Amino acid sequence: VKLDYVLANIPEQAEVLIRTDKQAHIRVQDKQFLDFINYIHQHCEYNILLDVSVYDEDDEISFWLLSLRTHEIIGVVTQRNPRIVNISDLSYYFHNIKSLAFQFNEFTQSDFFKGIENYRKPVESFTPRKSVLVTEVDERIQDIIRINNHFNRFGDIDLSVVSKDDITLELDFQINGKKLHVNEKLKHRPIEEILNQVHKIDGFNAPTIVINLCMALEKFNEIEIPDKAQAIRMIFLEFSKILETIEFISSISYSTQASSLYHSCLIWIQNIERVMAFYSGNIFHLGIFTIGGVQRDVPAGWMNFCYNHLKEIQNEIKDEMKNILADSLWKDRLNIGKTAPRDLVEWGIGSSLLRASGINSDLRKRQSYYFYDEVIFNVPIALEGTVYDRLILAFMECDQSFEIIFQVLDNLPTGKIINDEYNLSNRIDRGESDFGIERYFKDGTSFHSIESFANLIHTTVTVKDHKVTNIKINSDSLSKLNYLKELSREVRIRDLALVYRSLNIKSNLLEI
Amino acid sequence: LSKDVRPKAETKTQDKSVGFIDKIKQWSQTKSFNPIVIGSPSWSLRLHALFVTSPLVDYFDHMALFDDYSEKNLLILIGPLSEIQKEKCLKIKETMQKSYKTLYIEMPFELGVNVEERSKEVIEELSFLNIDQILIESFISLDKMADVIRKL
């Protein structure tokens, strides 16, 4: 159902706060909230729950829903009322609601979500028998296995498994990394500082996270971006997508012990990062993206350098894919871990996992931003959703994003790279005393979600009195980790590492 | 000529006498990095890529990436560590060689962090490890890491 139809038929007491081309925020009274979400979910088919965000100062809560058919987003805002709204009512439709809501510390303290304290169980480390939650002790269970070396090479996540005849019966996880409270630390800070700090959240994803934050504010405030800046942003988005796919291929080849493929992946990563560092001067790509455009123009000689290096790497990746397709061993080994598309939708998981299990959804095509509607590219789709499908899909998507980069490089527009109002040197010439960009912003909340190869990334930003009072960056990786509990049933223990890595869970994005 | 030839012939005979196990012993005694990274997977991938490709870091054992059971001698810790990760470090320390080196890296999300105080805290927290280098900066580049590792 299209967004216009939904907005024409909302209940009387609800009001539309903000309406952009593919987004709407609706305020609903707390008594009507559950009925309204039922109506949207069942009648209008807004299936995927993207994010839940809470504003303590106003005592408000907002849910962000996406429809797979039209790729339009509805934000539902209500008052926080623990007596009326309860999490257990909504978790029937949206399985990922607990993992989204868990990210707030205040939730665990308040009564709003009952029973959420038990969600992350305190697990004693290095005591395998206690760490696994066995609800019913079965006589058939021979051993409890805690997989040590193969999984936690980096020491970020532990998985513990109850097995019978080398087949998993039950699985539990434990996040070892320290929670950094990034979202809380970035509140009430100038926007330029926030843009800088956000760069170090996740390594290869830095451009996508920053561009997503910029887009949320730019679309809300209707800021125009020059054509050249849009093209440069597209190039960086595709670069980070390529790096993510190669990271994925390397992790799969590591766990299948395909050493030559793993080493060539490392060399590709290094070469591509060199091309990007030639542009930006550092591996984090600091000081490039701002609101209103891009700060640094294309350096002299970069286009040729980029074109030659990328052509080499693209050909090497194509050759590797041919080798894998010709060899039946890969298909036999990786024919595991089937995902059902309906489960993925219920868990709110997006991007490449959806495409691997047969759903044609690409935000670049459907909700196209920048020049994605003018560039020619295909969206590869696999049907069965096995690990093999995900691997081949990674190769094919990598190839497509190479071609997007070549098309953009061939047709790079000329002109300015930053909007005149937001250009710092122009503002100095005008004799302005206050250099903060925030005074151009409207009050209100803005939401934007973008798709990287691994996961969906959402940002919500609230601005009040020309200051950023609240910021939240979130992704679907925690709900993926919860989905692994279902997916791992009846999988051989030896294959668990492969299934876990094929879900592409980023430990940096688990608890931001 | 005859003087030049003699030592070469001797070495050839020596090589034949050396068995496979002795070679492994020699290889284990040479100074080669066998690192393990705890904290952030994206950093560890970047570091592995750096070790494989760059000529800055010479002594690095490529195949040691694949055997998790081999002895590690370089421990790289990233970010503020949780208590579970500290216990993991303790466990790794027991399996490591006696002459191991440790590197601590942190990129805090707050401005104005006093580096000296923070490094003292880190040394107190990880008192069971002999930390050789501590790097606490807002942004750390790969080249800097390579420099530090070369000095180690």
Q: Do A266 and B45 touch (CB under 8 A)?
A: yes
Of residues A128 and B85, more confidence is placed in B85
The predicted structure's pLDDT at residue A449: 92
Low-confidence ranges of chain A (pLDDT < 50): 105-137, 148-151
Q: pTM (2 decimals)? A: 0.88
Residues of chain B found within 8 Å of residue A200, distances taken between Cβ atoms = 107, 109, 139
Among B42, B126, B139, most A C-beta atoms within 10 A, so best to mutate, is B42
Among B82, B104, B140, most A C-beta atoms within 10 A, so best to mutate, is B82
- Closest in B38, B42, B52 to A203, CB measured: B42
Q: Do B42 and A204 touch (CB under 8 A)?
A: yes
The total number of residues shown for chain B amounts to: 152
The predicted structure's pLDDT at residue A418: 93
The predicted structure's pLDDT at residue A427: 80
The predicted structure's pLDDT at residue A123: 39
**Is A301:A336 a contact under the CB 8 Å cutoff?**
no
Q: How many CB pairs under 8 A join A and B?
A: 106
Question: Rounded to 5 degrees, what are φ and ψ at A455?
Answer: -155, 170
The predicted structure's pLDDT at residue B85: 84
Cα torsion angle, A194, A482, A248, A239, sign: negative
Q: Compute the half-sphere exposure of residue A275: CA atoms within 13 Å on the CB side of its CA.
A: 24
Q: Do A177 and B82 touch (CB under 8 A)?
A: yes
Is pLDDT of B146 > 90? no
pLDDT tens by residue, A398-456 = 999 999 999 999 999 999 999 988 888 888 888 777 777 888 899 988 999 999 999 99
**Is B109:A182 a contact under the CB 8 Å cutoff?**
yes
Residue whose C-alpha is closest to residue A511's, from A180, A105, A137: A180
Q: Do A507 and B41 touch (CB under 8 A)?
A: yes
Please, is A233 exposed, middle or buried when counting C-beta atoms within 10 Å of its C-beta (0-12, 13-18, 19+)? buried
The predicted structure's pLDDT at residue A133: 44
pLDDT tens by residue, B39-49 = 888 888 888 88
Query: Which residues between 31 and 90 in chain B have a beta carbon less than 8 angstroms from any beta carbon of chain A?
Result: 36-46, 48-50, 52-54, 62-63, 65-66, 68-69, 79-82, 84-85, 87-88
Question: Rounded to 5 degrees, what are φ and ψ at A476?
Answer: -95, 20
Element (H, E) at B88: helix B83-95
Interface confidence (ipTM) of the complex = 0.81
Question: Rounded to 5 degrees, what are φ and ψ at A461?
Answer: -130, 130
Residues of chain A found within 8 Å of residue B54, distances taken between Cβ atoms = 270
- Closest in B37, B52, B107 to A200, CB measured: B107
The predicted structure's pLDDT at residue B17: 58
The predicted structure's pLDDT at residue A108: 42
Among B62, B66, B72, B85, most A C-beta atoms within 10 A, so best to mutate, is B85
The predicted structure's pLDDT at residue A279: 94
The predicted structure's pLDDT at residue B1: 55
Question: Residue B71 and residue B23: Cα distance in Å, rounded?
Answer: 16
The predicted structure's pLDDT at residue A122: 41
